Structure 1
Amino acid sequence: MTDFAVRPITEDERRPTFTLLMQALHSRVPSDESWREYAGSWAAERKFGAFAGTSPIGITGSFDTEAVVPGGARLSTGAVDGVGVRADWTRRGVVSALMRTQLEDFAARGVTLAALYASEAVIYGRFGYGAATFSRSIRVEHPARIRDSAPRTGTVRLLDENEAVVQIPTLYQRIIARAPRPGLLARPAYWWPGEHNRQVRYGGGYRVAVHTGLNGEDDGFAVFRSVDRASTDDPGRRALLDVRDLNGADPAAIAGLWRFLLSVDLVGTVVARDRPVDDPVGVLLTDPRRAHTTELGDQLWLRLVDVPAALTARTYGAAAPVVLGLTDPQLPANTGHYTVGPDGAHRTDAPADLQLDPEALAMLYLGEWRATTLLQAGRLTATDPSAAARADTLFTTERRPWCGTHF
């Protein structure tokens, strides 16, 4: 018997639970004004609260979206956008109860995948989430110049704040349709008010640049702001350009946006966070040493909610099939053996070549991790010595997965 109950929150409980989440994450509690900005992105739907009596002591929420998987299919995904527990209720089973309820809800609604950004890396593996994509932060110091041989096939224009709010959602959807990198998320209408509009319209200070290709179609955008670094000790110090979001449908659009960002006057440094590990800016420069990786870390954590559907939906490389043996304590319907090969995946009664848990399967799924690496680390076991090498070929993707959408 627990001394708390988990249930969906009501409309009247939206602000108290949002306040609880901000406190748990050591963020500023929203004022009346800031709550009006956030409220549109904090619906009661898909939120589960833990309550001691009538007092909220924990919260987890999500919104429905789609994730691109290897091969280009887009699968229904529950994006977990906030998990928090009141400080005097931690380590009493609250998070476990919330996550279990949320996973059961995903499964009952037919959601195929779940995804989150992990505040702490030790928490979510036990619920079947695995680090499925990585990203890096890049710092480019001036003088930095794009090579003459880099693609130059378009123009860049700045949008005003109203144009940015209206045009960028449609442009983003066009980009991920044309360049479906594994790990990319669709951004539903729910996402934009809190993560984009607030930055470009409500005093966030961010501007938006759009790249247009030679065919006259917009094919990329960057969201950025300038940070004044001048001081009484160094009045001539140039500004820093902070790049929050950068997406392009092809290499020419990416190169064009980088060329624009590095050409802004009176800027000494350009910093871009949460970029793909294979972002090309270094090799685009005449002096690649002007670009530095300042941080490299896990990005999107994935959980396969409907394992048969998820394995069937993606494509695989050319190697002899491998039988995966999965044990899923949270969602027992997933437990079983699955044959994975170039022709697809299906359940089987054949003995397992590789035995793994949901976390390891999630790490493999988008192609970021190699099965041989997980085997060496003890994250899976093999009954067939050659199976891990075959799984490397089956699960590897042409492009490294990347998400790029924070939530």
Structure 2
Amino acid sequence: MTDFVVRPITEDELRPTFDLLVEALHDRRPSDERWAQADGAWALPGKFGAFAENRPVGIASGFATSIAVPGGAVLPAQAVDGVGVRADWTRRGVVTALMTAQLTDLADRGTTLACLHASEAVIYGRFGYGIATSGRTVRVNRPVQLREGVEAGGAVRLLDTDEARAALPALYERIGLHRPGMIARPETWWPMALSYRLSREGGYRVAVHTGPDGRDDAFAMFKSVDQATAAEPEHGPLLEVRDLHGASPEAIAALWRFLFSIDLVATVTSRFRPVDEPLGVLLTDPRRVRTTDVEDDLWLRLVDVAGALAARTYGDATPVVFEVDDRLLPANRGRYRVGPDGAERTDAEADLRLDADTLAMLYLGEWRASTLAQAGRITAATPEALQRADTLFATAERPWCGTYF
């Protein structure tokens, strides 16, 4: 018997549960002014609270979005944007109860996928989430020079705060979800994302690239960070690139060219860039670009395994039968035949056996089945079945999310 209850939160519980979340994540409660700026962004749908004597002790939050999957389909998804428990209520089953309630609700509402960024990597595998994309941190030491032949068409301009607030939502939508793993940014995402970053305290600026056709096709959000010390008072600032998206490689290259050209900057850095972004080979000296970290980015959960498997495309290989175990959502348990012509449930003998979190790791193409089998995550009837699965789930480019939430 538990001494707390889990239920959807109500309108008058929005602020208390948000305060609980930011404290659990060791951040400061927002001021009334900042809360007002983000009005509507912390909205009711998708939020469950754990309550003891009508006081919140835990929160699992999310918002409706959509996600691109291999082959170009865009599926309904839930972005889980905050899970936290009050410090005096941890390790009492609160997170398990919250995540179970949230996933059950998503399944009942027909949501295909759920995704999150994990603050701790040991938590979410037991709820069926797996690492589905990776991101790298790049550090570029100036001065740099782009190679001859790197396109520099169009123009780059800086936006003021009001222009950025007005332009970025439509521009991100126009750029589109062109990689597996990219998610839509609904209207409620933008106020919370921009209210602080574009404030005087946040310090971020926005640059937009306009293509030769006169249409905006890329943007970057960045800020300067002072690196001067008593020992090196003339050390130039670091330029931190928070968000960079473009509709084409040429537009992205043009934005990097602009960022590399900003005067007095010693270093340009950006976290969670695509692992396969060809940044170094844009330069005459590719060693000026260093990858300082590669880390897990988007964690994925297949809420509807049959629907998710049927929606993506597959490579050219003999079909493979997967047997999936899903402890939290038993309706997903069973065998699925996956082949070049799609996926469907089957009663045939299984070639591969795996849990829901491992299937999530395979789904967007980030991992090979043979690699996961080496780690003991997949049991294979034959090595040849793993080779077929490698081909079926392979993608032309690495999946990438590129959105903070």
Query: TM-score by structure 2 length?
Result: 0.98
Residue aligning to 2:175: 175
Give % identity.
Answer: 63
Q: Post-superposition shift, 1:383?
A: 1.2
Residue aligning to 2:362: 364
**Maintained 8 Å contact 2:39/2:191:** no
CA distance in 1, matches of 2:349, 2:200: 58
SS in structure 2 of the partner of residue 394 of structure 1: helix
SS in structure 2 of the partner of residue 151 of structure 1: coil
SS in structure 1 of the partner of residue 40 of structure 2: helix
CA distance in 2, matches of 1:145, 1:156: 18
Residue aligning to 1:29: 29
**Maintained 8 Å contact 2:223/2:240:** yes
Matches within 5 A, 1:178-193: 180-193=178-191
Residue aligning to 2:152: 152
CA distance in 2, matches of 1:136, 1:156: 25
The one of 191, 208, 212 aligned to 2:206: 208
Matches within 5 A, 1:208-357: 208-357=206-355
**Maintained 8 Å contact 1:135/1:299:** yes
* Cα displacement string for residues 74-124 of structure 1 (whole angstroms, at most 9, x for unaligned residues): 000000000001111111110000000000010011100000001111110
Q: Post-superposition shift, 1:337?
A: 0.6
CA distance in 2, matches of 1:335, 1:231: 58
Q: Post-superposition shift, 1:197?
A: 4.0
CA distance in 2, matches of 1:25, 1:228: 26
Range 15-24 or range 77-86, more displaced = 15-24
**Maintained 8 Å contact 2:34/2:195:** no
Q: Which runs of 5+ in 1 are unaligned?
A: none
CA distance in 2, matches of 1:100, 1:208: 39
CA distance in 2, matches of 1:65, 1:127: 20
Q: Post-superposition shift, 1:201?
A: 4.1
CA distance in 1, matches of 2:36, 2:230: 38
Residue aligning to 1:140: 140
SS in structure 2 of the partner of residue 7 of structure 1: strand
* Cα displacement string for residues 157-189 of structure 1 (whole angstroms, at most 9, x for unaligned residues): 111111111111111111125xx1000000000
CA distance in 2, matches of 1:78, 1:245: 21
Residue aligning to 1:89: 89
Q: Does 1:381 align with 2:379?
A: yes
CA distance in 2, matches of 1:197, 1:260: 25
Matches within 5 A, 1:392-407: 392-407=390-405
* Cα displacement string for residues 182-201 of structure 1 (whole angstroms, at most 9, x for unaligned residues): 00000000100111343124
Range 129-138 or range 16-25, more displaced = 16-25
Amino acid at match of 2:101: T
CA distance in 1, matches of 2:13, 2:58: 12
**Maintained 8 Å contact 2:207/2:219:** yes
CA distance in 2, matches of 1:197, 1:319: 49
Q: Post-superposition shift, 1:37?
A: 2.8
Residue aligning to 1:46: 46
**Maintained 8 Å contact 2:146/2:257:** yes
CA distance in 2, matches of 1:115, 1:205: 29
CA distance in 1, matches of 2:176, 2:279: 20
Q: Which runs of 5+ in 2 are unaligned?
A: none
CA distance in 2, matches of 1:250, 1:20: 41
CA distance in 2, matches of 1:170, 1:201: 20
CA distance in 2, matches of 1:124, 1:382: 24
Q: Does 1:116 align with 2:116?
A: yes
CA distance in 2, matches of 1:401, 1:38: 30
Aligned length: 405
Q: Post-superposition shift, 1:306?
A: 0.6
Q: Post-superposition shift, 1:14?
A: 1.0
Query: TM-score by structure 1 length?
Result: 0.97
Cα RMSD of the aligned pairs, angstroms, is 1.2
**Maintained 8 Å contact 2:337/2:343:** yes
CA distance in 1, matches of 2:160, 2:179: 29
Q: Post-superposition shift, 1:202?
A: 5.8
Q: Post-superposition shift, 1:45?
A: 2.4
**Maintained 8 Å contact 1:162/1:201:** no
Range 39-48 or range 155-164, more displaced = 39-48
**Maintained 8 Å contact 1:24/1:84:** yes
CA distance in 1, matches of 2:25, 2:159: 33
Q: Post-superposition shift, 1:233?
A: 4.0
CA distance in 2, matches of 1:346, 1:152: 47
Q: Post-superposition shift, 1:319?
A: 0.7
SS in structure 1 of the partner of residue 403 of structure 2: coil
Amino acid at match of 1:345: A
SS in structure 2 of the partner of residue 189 of structure 1: coil
CA distance in 2, matches of 1:90, 1:188: 32
Residue aligning to 2:79: 79
